[in-house]
Amino acid sequence: MALSDLITEANLIPDLDASDRPSAYRIMIQSLIDKGFVSKSLLDDILQSLQLREDKMTTAMGGGFALPHATIPKLPKLCTLLARSPKGIPCDAVDGKLVKLFFLILTPPDQNKTHLQTLATVAKFFNQRGVKSKILQATGTPEILSILRST
């Protein structure tokens, strides 16, 4: 599984504008609903599942990166989204830094292996030297997608 298989123009938000984590999550999920990735009926369940995950331990891993993820009943298949917030969003990161990149992963309950493989793929990709800064410096969606394909 390659990261470029998980993100297209349809599930990429190049300029996320939110003031806090809950509003960022709501914007991300609404984008997935608007693009037909997720049913509107799942909005509240997804937001609640993401908050429960954050209550256990923050998914803001430090270095301006967050990897929110949750298992969602009634979700038919894996759903991902990459969001970039140039100004950053406070998310109780382990290093106290604002989060500028979010990679959202939602999986159905019967796809634990897929969930773990996706987490591993994303973590490996974003741990590469210089990847986050390249994405943050990219001029827009085409350049971000090019970085995802070439790295």
Q: What is the pLDDT of residue 135?
A: 96
Q: What is the pLDDT of residue 87?
A: 93
**The one-letter amino acid at 106:** L
Q: What is the pLDDT of residue 70?
A: 94
Strand pairing report for 79-89 and 12-13? parallel
DSSP state of 130: T
**The one-letter amino acid at 98:** L
| Domain coverage including residue 107 | 3-150
Low-confidence stretches of the chain (pLDDT < 50) are none
CATH of the domain at 36: 3.40.930.10
What pTM value is reported for the model?
A: 0.95
Q: What is the pLDDT of residue 132?
A: 95
CA distance to 13, 34, 66, 95, 132, per residue, from 30 (Å): 11, 6, 18, 28, 24
CA atoms of 143 and 29, how far apart (whole Å): 23
Overall domain count for the chain: 1
CA distance to 9, 57, 86, per residue, from 49 (Å): 25, 13, 26
